[in-house]
Chains A and B, each alone.
Chain A
């Protein structure tokens, strides 16, 4: 004991360079993996990294690094760590920062910067990274005094992971990485301007308990806040205790078991009929950790028109932002749910409501016309679901395949689903899978991507091969920017302006160039065969599925419409033909 104390004090007094401080701080934070890309301004950091024992993944593009860090954070629940060099290295992470900001993903991002004495002179590889990233970070720092570096890193980890999580950026001028100072990482974080409210207000909880007891048609809309708070267990307990049906947002999927009788599916633009109609008809809407994004609400004029709205959110600014809210509860989702369970209020009598919901579920399930002569994308997702017993970690890119995956891969467990929701970032899916696999080495990871989005970050195949990550890359190849094509078909009179790409490369050959096994399938039979083969291999495999190219995602709420105005809800609906 005594020896440790002395040792620690000695360490505290030792002077070390900024670069070494960074390494020591990352060790103190128990960082398991760093995603990054070196360059001039961060060379001193990379030099210290060299024999630090820390695990660093060299992605092939900084965008890949930051999306991988996002995927890692989603699955591990820990902050993703990124290092990029100044100038172009830093500007390459802008998309990822915005993505993480939108979807509340904890990241600590280090960018190199030119030396302090030339900042502002348009020096080689100088970019005003702080200025560029201010609106897309939860907080940011530029190191101006070496003595502040440990405190800054400590604060950054604290801010990124507490309250509503988000990306925090630390811009480090090159001279700060070589300057020496004392490393004291034991200090407490003291931020008077940052005190997230974690525990719910009792009065508001009472109000909600009362509202629930009176409700005839209550429904819970659960978002990713439930996942960030690790509150899946409590959500289920509460829903069962009060007998309230649950709807998920796109990002919330997995928070509540998809096979649970109280589950109504995903809400929003491509949500289920039952979920959207329930939101339209409900008289009490309990939002837990969702932010009433416009893709979820549709036209606000018709959103939950008859409902009393209660909203539990750790970010007070989300409450009342888009939807007037009668019962605001600023709180961590888990704390609020625990309190609600503890209150054990009177169960509402909702027999008629449940009957109505059951009828909708039976009459208007998700549906598509199968055609075994081709690969139907919906069928493909169902096959993957079955083959992986619904247990896989699934990442997607953005577009039609993303929506089909959200609809047809039934997530029964939390923290298995990684997708770009708020920003809708093409190029997200493949690098995110790298991070996800590193966060859960034993998981089966499937990256379901479109033929277009895949090409935005496909260089990361190289990392998958290098680390021999057994990721299964599934390309839903419709030779088009499918979602754009769908909108042009429906809203632009089939004028397919720059959305058809019949000359996509040979993805099988491409994978082979990266030394990755690859298969192609053009019929359902072939698809079944190659899937079986791929999932039996404990190495990376790329699968190129030539799916039916003109398939559309349904149901669909057209922009500007209310959720109740969705089209394509029944297999016999002509828009499905």
Chain B
């Protein structure tokens, strides 16, 4: 969704989610190509289409909200970035390099007893990598949350599923 980049606008939106009792899985916010307009991407778990519709309508009522798009069922590009700090010693270090390669992840920091893996992709991919790295001992994870928009060309919409992304 796109919003006017005004003081308090994030507060307005998250406040609305609290007021209406919706749980936010993740939020990302950043500038768009137009000055003064920001894009926010929310991932929200909802029970049914009616709730999704209600959230969309409530968001649309906000004066500073310009456009809301429920893109759950559309062809989208969705990406998240994660930094994962893994405990390592000299014996497993190389093993980890090999392990993360298929994920097109990279090591962005190395110290004597840990290294930091950076990965981008859809949340499922990030989950999968985190699971793989768990046995080595994960010290810290930082995730950005999903940011997304629709693809240039739309295939036929797939069936409704949760979570829904706006």
- A residues near B, CB below 8 A? 130-131, 134-135, 138-139, 142, 144, 159, 191-194, 315-317, 320-321, 324
Contacts and interface: CB of A to CB of B under 8 A. Distances in A.
A131 B63 contact: no
B102 interface: no
A191 B8 contact: no
Nearest to A196: B61
23 contacts: A130-B8, A131-B8, A134-B8, A134-B11, A134-B12, A134-B15, A135-B16, A142-B8, A191-B63, A192-B66, A193-B4, A193-B63, A193-B65, A193-B66, A194-B63, A315-B61, A316-B57, A317-B57, A317-B58, A317-B60, A317-B61, A320-B53, A320-B54
Q: Is the interface of B mostly helix, strand, loop or mixed?
A: helix
Contacts of B16: 135
Contacts of B63: 138-139, 159, 191, 193-194
* A-B residue pairs, 3 tightest by C-beta: A317-B57, A139-B63, A193-B66
A135 B20 CA distance: 10
A131 to B, nearest CB: 7
B50 A320 contact: yes
Chain B residues touching A, range: 20 to 34
Interface of B: 3-4, 7-8, 11-12, 15-16, 18-19, 50, 53-54, 57-58, 60-66
A398 to B, nearest CB: 23
B57 A193 contact: no
A317 B55 CA distance: 9
Given A134-B15, A135-B16, A321-B54, A144 B7 contact: yes
A138 B62 CA distance: 8
Nearest to B16: A135
A79 B132 CA distance: 61
A220 B62 CA distance: 30
A560 to B, nearest CB: 20
Contacts of B8: 130-131, 134, 142
Nearest to B18: A135
B54 A135 contact: no
Contacts of A316: 57, 60
Contacts of A194: 63
B62 A193 contact: yes
Nearest to A139: B63
Contacts of A191: 63
A566 B61 CA distance: 36
A565 to B, nearest CB: 26
A135 B16 CA distance: 7
B31 to A, nearest CB: 17
Contact of A317 (B3, B7, B19, B54): B54
Contacts of B62: 193
A130 B6 CA distance: 13
Contacts of B7: 142, 144
Given A131-B8, A142-B8, 10 more contacts: A134-B8, A134-B12, A135-B16, A138-B63, A144-B7, A193-B3, A315-B61, A317-B54, A317-B60, A321-B54
B63 to A, nearest CB: 5
B15 to A, nearest CB: 5
A191 B62 CA distance: 11
Contacts of B57: 316-317
Contacts of A131: 8, 11
Nearest to A191: B63
Contacts of A139: 63
A575 B65 CA distance: 52
Contacts of B50: 320, 324
Nearest to A330: B57
A194 B8 CA distance: 17
A192 B7 CA distance: 17
